[in-house]
Structure 1
């Protein structure tokens, strides 16, 4: 069997085992990953910065006893630093080149992972499709006419294409779970404070953003979390310590769980029949696992909640643009995309008092959500309202493009203070994915599970949201679902190795 085939077939845990046993060399794995990265690059366009020579050098001296020794890996081109590597954030703003490693990068390297590239992101992670003026369109390995999701769409495309078995990802409003749901992967959004973002930042988007990974298997997600979690002195949050290891949780029988199902759209927008079928598939798998299921409603999670979330993100983007101006030493307005520019301008005119009040409303709703769902071990709900969209489907067109252009050219972002116009643009931005922001606000963990394949052959995952700090129950449940469904054996058909 070729090394490329081994890379394509195995998850990270399996590859590391082969390295430890001496059945394959780290250099062979890294060379195979680089070759596959280049072979699939024209198809999926998922690489921001190749790190090939540094990866080959690292592979030669890696300690083969490390838990993930020699396993090829990718870092997201957003929100994480690796010394000497340009970070673009999916933007045409001049790249930031760090002279330090993020704590997460240090932990990735200490685990034995070998970064071969940085993966593409939409500009500043603001779209849930990975398409940018700086890097173009990142495509889904299952069908390259469709999106791999966002904002960790490059990471998901590389994993789904068999270039790397696991990749760093981040999630501020679904950016791990949406790509996982689009590409047939496991995507765990961790509890707030589970992994540090320091020293690049102490928190991002008022604590909404967390980092972890997209992976082929539940056990990979669990093992990587074991190797990267834990507080850092510069972190403002710390999640509840696990009772044991996450890897142990992923092989443990979950027992009989009490689960809830939430089917409604918080935005009141249409949900496709395929999405509801995927949710029904997850419910059927859970029942097969012996769990009880109860339908619930969350009437207080609605349009006002999502609007407060959106205004909070706009304020964070405005602040980020100010920081970029200071870093670059000039205006960056002409470097960024129209939608980013418009969001930043809106964020500038939302008052500090409005943002504070909105955050307090979000926190109050989160407390109610956590309290009322505490009797359940997990709540099943959709991630994406429709199967993976065609590339370019979220681009403003017709009247929408005209309105956005007028707001930008005439600097009329203040008109977004009017609730009907703001609501219209919010719906256009979020009609693909209505639910994931809930857990970014509440800080709860949530895991995207690849339970369904559409009639057109596209993956469509759902999510299970857990109690704060309880990734262990989610991983145990997810591993059982993986075993019952057999989804780990599925692979995207793109350039299958001989």
Structure 2
């Protein structure tokens, strides 16, 4: 079996076991990952920065007793610092080149992981499809005409495409879970404060953003979380301590759980029949595992909740553009994409008082939701409302493109203060994915589960959301469902190695 085949076929835990036994060397793995990265580069377009020379040097020096010794890895081109590596954030704004590592980067390296590339993202992680003016369109290894989702779409393309077995990802409104749902991966959105973002930032998007990974297996997600979670001296807060190792949680039987399923759209928008079949598939697997599942309604989740999230993101984008302008000593509006510019200008129209009031309303709704679901060990709900979209499907066209252009060129962003106009824009921005932002606001953990493949042969995952701080139960449930369904055996058909 070729080293490329080993890399393509195994999860990170399996690859590390082969290193520990001496069956494959870290340098062989690095060379195989680099070769596959280059071989699939045109089809996937998932690489922001190649790190090949540094990866080969690390492979030669890595301690082979480390938990994930020599396992090839990808780090997202957004929100995390690698010393000396340009961070573009998916933008044409000149890159930031840090002279330090993030705490999370240090923890990855201490685990033995070997970053071979940085992965593509849409500009500032704002779209749930990984397409940007700076880097172009990232494509799915399942079908190159379809999206990998976003914003961690480069990460999901590299893992599902067999370049690396695990990759760093981040999630501010579904950016771990949507790519996982589109590419057949496990994607755990962790509890707020579980993994530190320091020293780059204390928190991002008012605490909505968390970092973790996209993986091929539940055990990889659990092991990686064990190796990277925990407080940092610069982090302002941390999630409650787990009851034990996450890897142990993933290895144990979950027992009989009380589960719920939420089938409605908080936006009141259409949900495809295949999404609902995917949800039913998850429920059936859970019942086969011996769990009770009941349908619930969550009336506190409505259009006002989602609109509040979107307005807070607009405010955060305005702040980001201000910081970028300060970093470069000039305005950067001309460098960013039209949609980013419009969103930032809308954020500038919001007063501090308005933003604070929206956040307080979101927090109040979060408390209601957490209280209403406290009796359940997890709640199933969709991630994407439709099967993975064709590339470019969310680009504004016709009248929509004209309106966005006028908003930009004539500086008519003030029109978005009209509730009806803003509501239309919300629907056009989020018709593909209505649910993931819920857990970003509440701070709850939620895990994407690759339970279903569409009639067209594309993955379509759903999510299970848990109690705040309780990733352990989610991982235990997910591992059981993984065993029942056998989803770890699925691989994308792109360039299957010998």
Q: TM-score, normalised by structure 1?
A: 1.00
Q: Aligned residue for 1:167? A: 167
- SS state of the match for residue 96, structure 1? coil
Offset at 1:344?
A: 0.2
Q: Aligned residue for 2:214? A: 214
Superposition pairs of residues 315-330 of structure 1, within 5 angstroms: 315-330=315-330
Q: Aligned residue for 2:392? A: 392
Q: Deviations over 1:157-193 (max 9, x none)?
A: 0000000000000000000000000000000000000
Q: Aligned residue for 1:469? A: 469
CA distance in 2, matches of 1:445, 1:237: 16
Superposition pairs of residues 91-490 of structure 1, within 5 angstroms: 91-490=91-490
Q: TM-score, normalised by structure 2?
A: 1.00
CA distance in 1, matches of 2:461, 2:75: 23
CA distance in 2, matches of 1:158, 1:325: 32
CA distance in 1, matches of 2:69, 2:53: 17
- SS state of the match for residue 107, structure 2? helix
Superposition pairs of residues 10-29 of structure 1, within 5 angstroms: 10-29=10-29
Offset at 1:331?
A: 1.1
Offset at 1:237?
A: 2.1
CA distance in 1, matches of 2:10, 2:266: 38
Q: Deviations over 1:432-488 (max 9, x none)?
A: 000000000000000000000000000000000000000000000000000000000
CA distance in 2, matches of 1:147, 1:481: 26
CA distance in 2, matches of 1:66, 1:158: 23
Q: Aligned residue for 1:32? A: 32
CA distance in 2, matches of 1:28, 1:233: 37
The total of aligned residue pairs comes to 498
Moved over 3 A (4+): none
- SS state of the match for residue 450, structure 2? strand
- SS state of the match for residue 188, structure 2? strand
Offset at 1:424?
A: 0.5
C-alpha RMSD of the superposition:
0.4
CA distance in 2, matches of 1:90, 1:81: 14
CA distance in 2, matches of 1:260, 1:420: 33
CA distance in 2, matches of 1:21, 1:327: 48
Instruction: Check if 1:77 corresponds to 2:49.
Output: no
Offset at 1:328?
A: 1.1
Offset at 1:274?
A: 0.4
Q: Deviations over 1:291-326 (max 9, x none)?
A: 000100011100000000000000000000000001
Q: Aligned residue for 2:491? A: 491
CA distance in 1, matches of 2:75, 2:192: 20
Q: Deviations over 1:332-385 (max 9, x none)?
A: 111000000000000000111110000000000000100110000000000000
CA distance in 1, matches of 2:482, 2:144: 25
CA distance in 2, matches of 1:52, 1:430: 37
Q: Aligned residue for 2:68? A: 68
CA distance in 1, matches of 2:299, 2:41: 44
CA distance in 2, matches of 1:306, 1:351: 19
CA distance in 2, matches of 1:117, 1:38: 11
- SS state of the match for residue 448, structure 1? strand
- SS state of the match for residue 86, structure 1? coil
Gaps of 5+ in 2: none
Gaps of 5+ in 1: none
- SS state of the match for residue 187, structure 1? strand
- SS state of the match for residue 459, structure 1? coil
